[in-house]
Amino acid sequence: MSKNLTSRSQDYSKWYNELVVKADLAENSGVRGCMVIKPYGYAIWEKMQAALDQMFKDTGHENAYFPLFIPKSYLSKEASHVDGFAKECAVVTHYRLKNDPDGKGIIVDPEAKLEEELIVRPTSETIIWDTYRRWIQSYRDLPILINQWANVVRWEMRTRLFLRTAEFLWQEGHTAHATQQEAIEEAERMMEVYADFAENWMAVPVIRGVKTASERFAGAVETYCIEALMQDGKALQAGTSHFLGQNFAKAFDVKYVNKEGQQELVWATSWGVSTRLMGALVMTHSDDQGLVIPPKLAPIQVVIVPIYKGEEQLDQIHEHVKPLMNELKSLGISVKFDSRDTVKPGFKFNEYELKGVPVRLAIGARDLEQGTYEVARRDLLTKETLPQEGISGHIKALLNDIQETMYQKALAYRESHITEVNSYDEFKEVLNNHGGFISAHWDGTPETEEKIKEETKASIRCIPLDGAVEEGVCVYTGKKSARRVLFAKAY
Amino acid sequence: MSKNLTSRSQDYSKWYNELVVKADLAENSGVRGCMVIKPYGYAIWEKMQAALDQMFKDTGHENAYFPLFIPKSYLSKEASHVDGFAKECAVVTHYRLKNDPDGKGIIVDPEAKLEEELIVRPTSETIIWDTYRRWIQSYRDLPILINQWANVVRWEMRTRLFLRTAEFLWQEGHTAHATQQEAIEEAERMMEVYADFAENWMAVPVIRGVKTASERFAGAVETYCIEALMQDGKALQAGTSHFLGQNFAKAFDVKYVNKEGQQELVWATSWGVSTRLMGALVMTHSDDQGLVIPPKLAPIQVVIVPIYKGEEQLDQIHEHVKPLMNELKSLGISVKFDSRDTVKPGFKFNEYELKGVPVRLAIGARDLEQGTYEVARRDLLTKETLPQEGISGHIKALLNDIQETMYQKALAYRESHITEVNSYDEFKEVLNNHGGFISAHWDGTPETEEKIKEETKASIRCIPLDGAVEEGVCVYTGKKSARRVLFAKAY
């Protein structure tokens, strides 16, 4: 298989779009802005889901499912929430089609108009807090720690596979607490869970921080986030966790009776990650040869390609590798033997490189004689010939090494792309010639934030949680600033 | 906890509705016809999903994801398909809300009208076959064996939790094949997978059969089904698998080049089961005390209730049961220790009965002394005192026994509710006084089928696959018939 992949240096954006399609992750559908997630892409998403789901359960959460539709009036109950979501939503107005009396196919039946329009959920705070009102009476009913795996719809005008689609898949956690402190702890805990997942499963280093007021989730008091850096120097928000205060409890009148017998409003959080993570995964690690997938998320961790002449030799190789395949499976390693005779080994090599399979074994007649395997690692594109004895242990260690090496490589890139600047000229110079995160003082006003964004396209990605308090002056206005924030162009 | 559950003999339908809510499986939402699946109900659904998903993968299928929305024109392409689904669908006509200029909240923005309306998928054949057209060129691209876990919407006018809801969760398999025979084999294979799941996981015996023409899926050439029998003598269709012939290939122009270089239309199947299975599970096994859940699908298989006075004794019991809990977990058995001090043991006993936890252990001061446990099984509501030695092995065997006993009980009920009749009077007599499946001769015409349904409310559930060829005369018209079919009133 020939890859014909645009290189990153040629056109990073085109490289991404081509790679997602050619590596069989996803493609556009006949429905504007909606993607088809293909089996290979979905298999990676399933691995992400499984890991996250276990992490949610380990932190005490349960899954549930709430309606796809949200009555228009619900959306309106929390003022800033509706402002944030009304402009980009799919609205269901009718519940029936009928034959066109003029014989021109089928039309919407005007008699089947809904009394109240339904919005396809862009996020589920409103429908869930309408439900929580029925579930919560006393402090004994708290906390409620629920997660939902679901599809959501936001009518984006410009879409890109995984990064920004009208429909996407995600999980959304929605929790209810008796106290402010408990809710804040929960929001912070889930940010940490996301950071743990990004770093230890996706091999994507992230910066933990909070959003500025203007970048906050519509309805949140505080938005915690994890921010990753792509290979083109642009940032990508990889997950958010919101402390919602009592905003939704107020909007939906959700109160509980505390131990002292008094009524109080309930405290809330919500948090989510989506199929956008697939985009982050691709853009952090992949190269001009195709995908590079961290072993922990690879649908196929090891592929064995036989180099053979004739069916007899193929059978011989297949028999020979069976014990190894069983050994690998017993070590929890997924392995595929590619016996296709319709394509040549070189085609297969290219295909598995494109698809980012972490380890490729090749075995031919000479390897059979000498008791060896050719072992290639996808991340470094290196290969070596190894004796078959002890090879399964070697592969296990190799997979761990690939996972770690990928993380360290991404971390080194990220670390070399956080630049402290002290003037606006320097800001623009670094942004345009080097990219990455720019650590700069800002006067704390939304006006300055907005002006910098207008002029440079860089937004404040976050106020990093590990940032030191350091007095300085805003690079734009020269006004006083108490700490640096991170700017970047972003996806 | 007092259950206050209507008994089955009093009002079966009311019993079901109450039980689903009181046992925390699901409840109605503020959105007409849409349910909230609560954590306990969702945990059962997750177990169903995990088992089915593994069975699909073991039979060579992969998961993928297709858009929620279907352009109206797609739905129209297969004539019988649109007839079947147009009357009950949610239609998206706009993509934006805006502030009402009269200041009355938010309204649909009339300027954001879609050029073509989008239907919220009632099933995905059309959007998927539109995609398959791009994926299939040659025989080498076949078969395609894909499954999707998704939500779908059918605008039902009368809804009931799990059994009939406007939105429901399901899986839908969609496969493409080079030959008719291969597609028929696939449709039959998936019917067998569903039957296997129903019988061996849900402990629900089912009859395998095919639907009559008038009960077929809209667009299918043949619909295979599994039919279960509820405790009130009504049947419930638990899963369907459709041989779609070349209908969707024709509608979406999906052709492949065969080995001889000629273009041919592709053959198709689709198959699905839904959250309706939750309703079947409840109605097959549960009793007047609450849910009875087969151990293989129970979120909690064993609960341990301590009977204690004071915190010291509670700690003592907790320490005592820890080794047992670890043993059970290592045997793959889920176990919960209920240490709540806000409710009494009797309340807990009632609660776990209501929730259908298969095995309950109770342990008090005397058991501690004597080294015993009180072991209660939910299905038979019996209990015995057993020595702690060897108790984990006993529990493992007990869970297997409960699973098998539940199946045998349901099977015995079903077997005693299949009645052969040879006249229409007998038909009506059995239907009204005994219920269940009625095995009767039918002349094979949709007219007779329809008249019997009108007069008795019994429909033909299926033409059973294991039914012998046996000449006879139709109970309604006296015309010739080649085999018996199964009638029943149905959910």
Residue among B432, B434, B446, B429 nearest B485 (CA) = B446
Cβ within 8 Å, pair A97-B91: yes
Average pLDDT over residues B254-272: 97
Count Cα neighbours of B453 within 13 Å in the Cβ-side half-sphere. 13
d(CA A358, CA A403): 9
Contacts of A46 in chain B (CB under 8 A): 63
pLDDT higher than threshold 90 for residue B79: no
Give the closest of B76, B108, B342 to A93, CB-based. B108
The mean of the pLDDT values for chain B is 96
Report pLDDT digits (tens) over A39-76. Answer: 999 999 999 999 999 999 999 999 999 999 999 999 98
Q: What are the φ and ψ backbone dihedral angles of B128, each rounded to 5 degrees?
A: -75, -40
Average pLDDT over residues B367-396: 97
Cβ within 8 Å, pair A68-B151: yes
Cα of B150 to nearest chain A Cα, Å = 9
Contact B215, B442 (CB under 8 A): no
pLDDT higher than threshold 80 for residue A459: yes
Give the closest of A74, A106, A151 to B86, CB-based. A106
On whether the pTM is more than 0.80, the answer is yes
Residue among B426, B419, B418, B456 nearest B448 (CA) = B456
Cβ within 8 Å, pair B167-A67: yes
pLDDT higher than threshold 90 for residue A177: yes
Q: What share of chain B is helix, strand, coil (3-state, %, to 5)?
A: 40, 30, 30
Residue among B299, B388, B376 nearest B345 (CA) = B376
Instruction: For residue A329, count other CB atoms closer than 10 A to its CB.
Output: 12
Report pLDDT digits (tens) over B315-351. Answer: 999 999 999 999 999 999 999 999 999 899 999 999 9
Q: What are the φ and ψ backbone dihedral angles of A482, each rounded to 5 degrees?
A: -95, -15
Cβ within 8 Å, pair A76-B105: yes
At B192, which amino acid appears?
A: E
Q: Is A246 exposed, middle or buried (0-12, 13-18, 19+ CB in 10 A)?
A: middle
d(CA A261, CA B282): 38
Chain A residue closest in CA terms to B118? A31
Per-residue pLDDT at A288 = 97
Cβ within 8 Å, pair A66-B42: no
Residue A3: pLDDT band (50, 70, 90) is: confident
User: Inter-axis angle of helices A310-330 and A391-415, to 10 degrees?
Assistant: 70
Partners of B267 in the beta sheet?
B177
Look-up of token digits 């074994």: A361
Cβ within 8 Å, pair A39-B62: yes
Chain A residue closest in CA terms to B97? A86
Locate A170 and state its tokens: 């995600």
Site from B95, B113, B254, B259 to mutate, A interface, most A CB atoms within 10 angstroms: B95
Contacts of B175 in chain A (CB under 8 A): none
Cβ within 8 Å, pair A67-B97: no
pLDDT higher than threshold 80 for residue B89: yes
Count Cα neighbours of B59 within 13 Å in the Cβ-side half-sphere. 21
d(CA A24, CA B472): 56
Look-up of token digits 């009928």: A98
3-state secondary structure A423-456: CHHHHHHHHHHCCCEEEEECCCCHHHHHHHHHHH
Residue among A268, A372, A275 nearest A320 (CA) = A372
**H helix or E strand, kind and range, residue B119:** strand B113-120
Give the closest of A34, A66, A95 to B36, CB-based. A66
Contacts of B64 in chain A (CB under 8 A): 36-39, 42
Contact A451, A476 (CB under 8 A): yes
Contact A194, A227 (CB under 8 A): no
Contacts of A82 in chain B (CB under 8 A): 97, 106
Contact B215, B223 (CB under 8 A): yes
Contacts of A98 in chain B (CB under 8 A): 86-87
Residue B3: pLDDT band (50, 70, 90) is: confident
Give the closest of A67, A93, A119 to B36, CB-based. A67
Cβ within 8 Å, pair B29-A155: no
d(CA B32, CA B157): 9
3-state secondary structure chain A: CCCCCCCCCCCHHHHHHHHHHHCCCEEECCCCCCEEECHHHHHHHHHHHHHHHHHHHHCCCEECECCCEEEHHHHCCCHHHHHHHHHHCCEEEECCEEECCCCCCEEECHHHEEEEEEEECCCCHHHHHHHHHHHCCEHHHCCEEEEEEEEEECCCCCCECCCECCEEEEEEEEEEECCHHHHHHHHHHHHHHHHHHHHHCCCCCCEEEECCHHHCCCCCCEEEEEEEECCCCCEEEEEEEEEEECHHHHHHCCEEECCCCCEEECEEEEEEEECHHHHHHHHHHCECCECCCCHHHCCCCEEEEECCCHHHHHHHHHHHHHHHHHHHHHCCCCEEECCCCCCCHHHHHHHHHHHCCCEEEEECHHHHHHCEEEEEECCCCEEEEEECCCHHHHHHHHHHHHHHHHHHHHHHHHHCCEEECCCHHHHHHHHHHCCCEEEEECCCCHHHHHHHHHHHCCEEEEEECCCCEEEEECCCCCCEEEEEEEEECEC
Residue A86: pLDDT band (50, 70, 90) is: confident
Look-up of token digits 């667009």: B219
Cβ within 8 Å, pair A34-B69: yes
ω into residue B446 within 30 of 0, thus cis? no
Report pLDDT digits (tens) over B195-235. Answer: 999 999 999 999 999 999 999 999 999 999 999 999 999 99
Q: Domains, chain B, ranges and CATH? A: 12-92+121-285 (3.30.930.10), 302-398 (3.40.50.800), 418-488 (3.30.110.30)
Cβ within 8 Å, pair A140-B342: yes
Per-residue pLDDT at B202 = 98
Per-residue pLDDT at A1 = 63
Give the closest of B35, B96, B151 to A151, CB-based. B151
pLDDT higher than threshold 70 for residue A2: no
pLDDT higher than threshold 70 for residue A264: yes
d(CA A241, CA A221): 11
Say yes or no: ipTM exceeds 0.85.
yes
Cβ within 8 Å, pair A63-B82: no
Give the closest of B64, B117, B118 to A42, CB-based. B64
Contacts of A116 in chain B (CB under 8 A): none
d(CA B209, CA A461): 59
Cα of A489 to nearest chain B Cα, Å = 28
Q: Is A483 exposed, middle or buried (0-12, 13-18, 19+ CB in 10 A)?
A: middle
Cα of A298 to nearest chain B Cα, Å = 15
Residue B439: pLDDT band (50, 70, 90) is: very high
Average pLDDT over residues B150-176: 96
Contacts of A119 in chain B (CB under 8 A): 97
Cβ within 8 Å, pair B31-A108: no
The mean of the pLDDT values for chain A is 96
Residue, of A402 and B87, whose pLDDT is higher: A402
pLDDT higher than threshold 90 for residue B276: yes
**H helix or E strand, kind and range, residue B387:** strand B382-387
Cα of A86 to nearest chain B Cα, Å = 5
Instruction: For residue B327, count other CB atoms closer than 10 A to its CB.
Output: 16
Q: Is A184 left (phi over 0), alpha (psi -120 to 50) or beta?
A: alpha
Give the closest of B34, B87, B97 to A96, CB-based. B87
d(CA A181, CA A188): 11
Per-residue pLDDT at B84 = 86
At A150, which amino acid appears?
A: A
Give the closest of A30, A68, A96 to B155, CB-based. A96
Site from B21, B49, B69, B152 to mutate, A interface, most A CB atoms within 10 angstroms: B69
User: Inter-axis angle of helices B391-415 and B310-330, to 10 degrees?
Assistant: 70
Give the closest of A64, A86, A95 to B91, CB-based. A95
Four-point Cα dihedral A316, A322, A328, A334, nearest 10: 90
Four-point Cα dihedral B52, B53, B58, B60, nearest 10: 120
Give the closest of B69, B93, B169 to A31, CB-based. B69
Average pLDDT over residues A176-204: 98
Contact A282, A27 (CB under 8 A): no
Give how far Cα B85 sits from Cα of A166, A256, A275, B219, B242, Å. Answer: 24, 44, 30, 10, 16
Contacts of A27 in chain B (CB under 8 A): 134
Average pLDDT over residues B185-191: 98
What is the three-class DSSP state of B23?
coil
d(CA B461, CA B228): 10
Q: What are the φ and ψ backbone dihedral angles of A71, each rounded to 5 degrees?
A: -60, 140
Interface A–B counts its CB contacts (< 8 A) at: 186
Contacts of B68 in chain A (CB under 8 A): 34, 120, 151, 153, 167
Residue A84: pLDDT band (50, 70, 90) is: confident
Four-point Cα dihedral A281, A196, A172, A485, nearest 10: -80
Per-residue pLDDT at B2 = 65
Cα of B260 to nearest chain A Cα, Å = 16
